Amino acid sequence: MASKINRLSSRKAATLDKPGRHADGAGLYLSISKSGGVVRRRWVFLFRWHGRLKEMGLGSPKTITLAEARELAGRWRRELNAGNNPLQVRAAEQRIRQTMPTFRDVATAYFEAKKHEWRNEKVRRQWMTPLERYGARLMQMPINEISTEDILAVLQPIWNEKAETARRVRQRIEAVMDAARARGLIAPDKANPARWKGHLQHWLAKHSKLSRGHLPAMPYNDVPAFISRLRGRDGLAAIALEFTILCGVRTSEALGATWPEIDFETSVWTIPPRRMKGGRSHRVPLSQRALDILRELYRARTSDLVFPGVRPGRPLSTMAMLMVLRRMGAIGATTHGFRSALRDWATDVAGAPREIAEAALSHVSGDLTERAYARSDALERRRLLMEQWAQFLEGSAATNVTPLQVAEA
């Protein structure tokens, strides 16, 4: 073997064209051959096994730097010193790699096993989407070879620009890696490279509370003027947005509405458990304005969907409503944020008890009184609140709203 005094330099390795093996030392060589005027360069590791000289290819200098080639040669030299044939060890590792599930395999299996727990249809439909889009580099990797560097390569480009998406991607990668460990695909003593606490938190900035789910809300005093402008816009998305604001529901709940859920006689819209975040059915008392919108849409209906999208059998997309907000210049506002506006208005202006305001948003808190209201539904008390909300959105002065507690006396 060549001594260390013959070590190559990166420049020399790139310019050498003389055929033969050029020693770097400690078993690493740059092998050069010529055929038809074409020069071929390869890194090779030479070693003796039972008295016979063996050659192990390490890759081309075009893809493997000199420093990387030295690391590879060092790794195989350690195997040799441990009494193992490097060629046989590599072949065994390749066989394992070929049978080892990829990240995509495990992610798909995890999704199929867990999807029935997620009641939100949108979550089920789109769970894999951010992984496919932003975690593409992981998809074909053997699950046991994914490192912290691989995770950071996925997250760093989107961590600050797309905070909420990045948060979901990290959480889903962590869940998939945990599932792989549970199946014995990853050594139990190997830490999850996507974990946050004590690990990625040292490499990625902590997201603010706002970016972690506290969505910006338009002040409730600004909402009536916004509604007035909204009614001047054409298109189903604008109508869907007004209906969502009127009813105080989540975007997915509004867009997934079907005509069998609407009872025009009792002026109630019943959202089934499978479409509710909390997994409980929710009755929405419909204000006069909400009923007017529904009756207009019902006359022109083409399917069971109240807000059908372009694709047959699919509802209008969330992006359609977001685009309405953007085109109206509502910078920073979100469709979900209007629920916060309703919540603030209900207590500040309508004087609604906390439990009624929470019930209107289908929130269930730990307080026994609020749980009782959640069980009893408090439909009629909420009906008055939602009618007052609709009147407020029409532009009625706040002083004309009868406090809910007084009205019930």
What does the pLDDT look like over 168-187, one tens digit per residue? 899 999 999 999 999 888 88
Note whether 288 and 384 are same-domain residues: yes
For the question of whether the overall pTM of this predicted structure is more than 0.85, the answer is no
Looking at per-residue pLDDT, the higher value among 6 and 406 belongs to 6
**Region 243-249 average pLDDT:** 96
The rounded distance, in Å, linking the Cα atoms of 180 and 170 is: 15
Whether 405 has a pLDDT exceeding 50, the answer reads no
Out of 99, 127, 142, pick the residue that ends a domain.
99
Same domain, 171 and 304: no
Q: Which helix (H) or strand (E) holds 196?
A: none
Residues 57-80: pLDDT tens digits?
Answer: 998 888 888 988 998 999 899 989
For residue 213, is it within any domain?
no
Q: Give the end of a domain, one of 139, 167, 202.
A: 202
Cα→Cα distances 4→7, 11, 71, Å:
6, 17, 15
Tell whether the model's pLDDT for residue 284 goes beyond 90: yes
**Final residue belonging to a domain, choices 40, 66, 99:** 99
Are 322 and 358 found together in one domain? yes
| Within-domain flag for 134 | yes
| Domain count along the chain | 3
Q: Is 327 a member of any domain?
A: yes
248 lies in the same domain as 361:
yes
312 has a pLDDT exceeding 70:
yes
pLDDT tens-digit series, residues 151-170: 998 999 888 878 888 898 99
Q: What is the pLDDT of residues 78-88, one digit of tens each?
A: 989 999 999 98
Q: Does 90 have pLDDT greater than 90?
A: no
Q: Are residues 296 and 398 in the same domain?
A: yes
- Tell me, yes or no, whether 188 and 336 share the same domain: no
Angle subtended by helix axes 337-348 and 379-393, to nearest 10 = 100
Residue 252 CA to residue 247 CA, distance in Å, equals 13
Question: What number of CA atoms fall less than 13 Å from residue 142's CA on the CB side?
Answer: 12
**Are 340 and 215 a contacting pair, CB within 8 Å?**
yes
- Whether 110 and 186 map to the same domain: the answer is yes
Instruction: List the domain range (segments joined by +) for residue 124.
Output: 103-202
Q: Which pLDDT band, with edges at 50, 70 and 90, does 377 fall under?
A: low
Domain assignment present for residue 208? The answer is: no
**pLDDT at residue 286 above 50?**
yes
Is residue 210 assigned to a domain? no
Residue range 8-32: average pLDDT?
88
Q: Does some domain include residue 401?
A: yes
**Residues 268-289, mean pLDDT to the nearest whole number:** 88
Same domain, 196 and 243: no
pLDDT of 368 strictly over 50: no
Please enumerate in sequence order all residues whose Cβ is within 8 A of that of 160, keeping only pairs 6 or more positions apart, or say none.
Answer: 205
Model confidence at 364, pLDDT cuts 50, 70, 90, reads low
pLDDT at 342 over 50: yes
Same domain? 77 vs 107: no
Question: For the domain that residue 195 is a member of, what is the CATH number?
Answer: 1.10.150.130
Q: Is the pLDDT of residue 293 over 50?
A: yes
66 and 168 share one domain: no
Give the residue-averaged pLDDT of 335-358.
Answer: 87
Q: What is the pLDDT of residue 208?
A: 63
Q: What percent of the chain has pLDDT over 90?
A: 42
pLDDT confidence tier of residue 409, bands split at 50, 70 and 90: very low
Does 95 share its domain with 128? no
Q: Could you tell me which residues come within 8 angstroms of residue 169 by beta carbon, excluding any fewer than 6 positions away?
A: 130, 131, 134, 135, 154, 155, 158
Separation in Å, CA 268 to CA 28, 206, 236, 378:
78, 43, 21, 13
Are 275 and 403 found together in one domain? yes
Q: Is residue 400 part of a domain?
A: yes
Question: Is 47 a member of any domain?
Answer: yes
